[in-house]
Amino acid sequence: MSWKLGQAILLGHGEAQNGGCDRSSILCDVMESVIAAAYLDGGFEAAKGIIDRLILPEARRGGKASGFQNGAAGAGAAEA
């Protein structure tokens, strides 16, 4: 399952027109915010759970965390 984070973020007009929803730096910032929100809401274990399910499996496979791309299919880190 792809999270399609790029479809869930609100960008300024210029950034949206220039493909900001597909820019890896922006999508990484969004994922960082998701992890931080989980930490603030549920503590360390909640944040660790997201990292364990979404990021570590991809890192163990030695692949790039490409699943954060808008609508990306395949075995990316944003898939669970």
| pTM for the full predicted model | 0.67
Do residues 8 and 71 touch, judged by C-beta distance below 8 A?
A: no
Give the span between the Cα atoms of 58 and 52, in whole angstroms: 10
Maximum C-alpha span of the chain: 38
Split the chain (80 residues) into runs of 10 and give each run's mean pLDDT. 76 92 90 96 97 87 56 38
Give the span between the Cα atoms of 65 and 43, in whole angstroms: 24
